[in-house]
Copies of this chain bind each other. A is one copy, B any other.
Amino acid sequence: MKIAVIGATGYGGVELLRFLQHHPYAEVHSIHSSSQDGISLSEIYPHIGQNEAMILESIDVEQITATADVVFLATPPGVSSQLTPLLMDGGVKVIDLSGDFRIKDGRIYEAWYKKTAAPNRYLQKAVYGLAEWNKKEIEDAVMIANPGCYPTATLLGLAPLVQNDLIKEDSIIIDAKSGVSGAGRHVSLSTHFSETNENVKIYKVNEHQHIPEIEQMLWNWNEQIKPITFSTHLIPMTRGIMATIYSQAKKELSTEMLVDLYKTSYEDSKFVRICEPGNYPSTKEVYGSNYCDIGVAYDERTGRITVVSVIDNLVKGAAGQAIQNLNIMMGIEEDTGLQFMPIYP
């Protein structure tokens, strides 16, 4: 199938190209950027090497819908809400890596993103691409809202607890830590090396736009869930997210019971790996891969459950999950083009 990538000059876009380059069934037909028409991508990213196919084109919707089967959007918030309706009307399938189609209620989107929401009838067609839990809908989708990096780590970590009604509904606290690549390639003081190295910063306290995305999915699973606390920290590393998730158990449990539950919940999931009791994942052990590794502990002293969930924010948290969604939507093996070990060390 023929693929177009819009927003190919960002970190998400270039990571998509890394995976698509050797995908057996997908061919990158064109790459697009709003501002760099005619430039070879290798001028911007020398690591991809000279490659004649990698010339950036402007975003001409008609031309794209005439030639592509599937379009990936790796654009900043506020762009996809305008482009996607045109692409959908043109008959191509869309996988959007931005947040524009993740939240069903446009007013909530607008409150957290401070941007105009996408038109409602397109919004309602979007399927939330949390591949491990929405597979059925993804198979039938024409438009996929690829989940955010933090929500992916968080939701995969919480799903077994929330779906099985094991935790108090008002007790969820997520303390998330992210590498700096999550902030993208746009330069700013907050991602300037000398300000970021040897430093941990907390940001968007109680205001992160991923909060409503996480809550929406939790409510889908269990409508008793109350608002969550979700904090994000910038860590002096490039890739990786760890979500440390706290909640209060409704009844006495044990770490072993929880590990069993998680193993069962994810037994058919190729990309979720559960740690043995007493073991917890570190971000580096999923570096460059599409895995989500999860460890879980029950504390008898407090009756609290701690879940530790790690992903590579640019892979399972963005481009990798997008390819996984492509595979599911196209009816091919879910891990096609994604079967490789993390890079370690």
Contacts and interface: CB of A to CB of B under 8 A. Distances in A.
Interface in A149-201: 170, 173, 175, 177, 179-181, 183, 185, 187-189, 191-201
A345 B194 contact: yes
B11 A345 contact: yes
Given A200-B177, A236-B235, A238-B193, A229 B341 contact: no
Contact of A192 (B177, B192, B199, B299): B192
A47 B285 contact: yes
A237 interface: yes
Contact of A302 (B183, B226, B282, B341): B226
A217 interface: no
Interface bracket on A: 35 or more
Interface stretch (A59-67, A72-80, A84-92, A286-294): A286-294
B231 A306 contact: yes
Contacts of A280: 201-203, 205
A119 interface: no
A227 B194 contact: no
Interface in A4-22: 11, 14, 17-18, 21-22
A176 to B, nearest CB: 10
A297 interface: yes
A6 to B, nearest CB: 19
Contacts of A196: 193
A283 interface: yes
Contacts of A17: 341
B22 A340 contact: yes
18 contacts: A14-B344, A47-B285, A49-B273, A49-B341, A50-B273, A173-B246, A180-B194, A187-B188, A193-B196, A199-B283, A200-B235, A200-B240, A200-B283, A205-B295, A226-B302, A229-B246, A233-B242, A236-B237
A292 to B, nearest CB: 12
A239 interface: yes
A257 to B, nearest CB: 16
Contacts of A26: none
Count of identical protomers in the assembly: 4
Contacts of A53: none
Interface of A: 11, 14, 17-18, 21-22, 45-50, 170, 173, 175, 177, 179-181, 183, 185, 187-189, 191-203, 205-206, 226-229, 231, 233, 235-240, 242, 244, 246, 273, 275, 279-289, 291, 293, 295, 297, 299, 301-302, 304, 306, 308, 310, 339-345
A14 B202 CA distance: 23
A275 B43 CA distance: 11
A181 B194 contact: yes
A237 B286 contact: no
A204 to B, nearest CB: 10
Contacts of A286: 47
B227 A197 contact: no
A340 B15 CA distance: 12
